[in-house]
């Protein structure tokens, strides 16, 4: 979810965050290089969803999408996680992602109705 939220930041705010962030490894897959993380955030921004594969905890991968308010600003993110040995990345993207997007669209619609 963090990459989805970072991807929604204006360029200067993203730069400020990345320039001040301490990137500590949580697993051997954790991205700790600022340029590499920036590239992943840009990839997330471009495709509209984020993927983390065993970077926060060994054996756990997750996929996240943004939640938008009535002005279409990203105000939150939702994700789902799966165990890496049980759910291949392709299944996460082809089966989980469409359902996650449907859920996000329903939440977006509720937020638009609240105005």
What is the three-class DSSP state of 92?
A: helix
Largest CA distance in the chain: 44
Q: How far apart, in whole angstroms, are the C-alpha atoms of residue 33 and residue 65?
A: 23
How many other CB atoms sit within 10 Å of the CB of residue 67? 21
Q: What is the pTM of this model?
A: 0.91
CB within 8 A of 43, min separation 6: which ones? none
Calculate the CA dihedral of residues 32, 20, 14, 66 and round it to 10 degrees.
Answer: 60
Mean pLDDT on 58-84: 96
Q: What is the pLDDT of residues 86-109, one digit of tens each?
A: 999 999 999 999 999 999 999 999
pLDDT of 115 higher than 70: no
Q: What is the pLDDT of residues 7-41, one digit of tens each?
A: 999 999 999 999 999 999 999 999 999 999 999 99
């Amino acid at each position: 979810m963090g990459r989805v939220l970072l991807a929604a930041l204006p360029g200067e705010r993203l730069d400020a965050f990345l320039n001040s962030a301490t990137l500590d490894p949580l697993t051997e897959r954790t991205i700790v290089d600022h340029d590499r993380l920036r590239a992943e955030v840009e990839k997330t921004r471009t495709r509209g969803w984020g993927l983390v594969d065993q970077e926060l905890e060994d054996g756990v991968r997750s996929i996240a999408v943004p939640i938008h308010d009535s002005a279409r600003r990203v105000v939150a993110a939702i994700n789902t996680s799966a165990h890496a040995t049980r759910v291949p990345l392709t299944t996460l993207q082809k089966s989980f992602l469409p359902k996650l997007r449907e859920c996000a669209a329903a939440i977006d619609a509720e937020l638009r109705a609240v105005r």
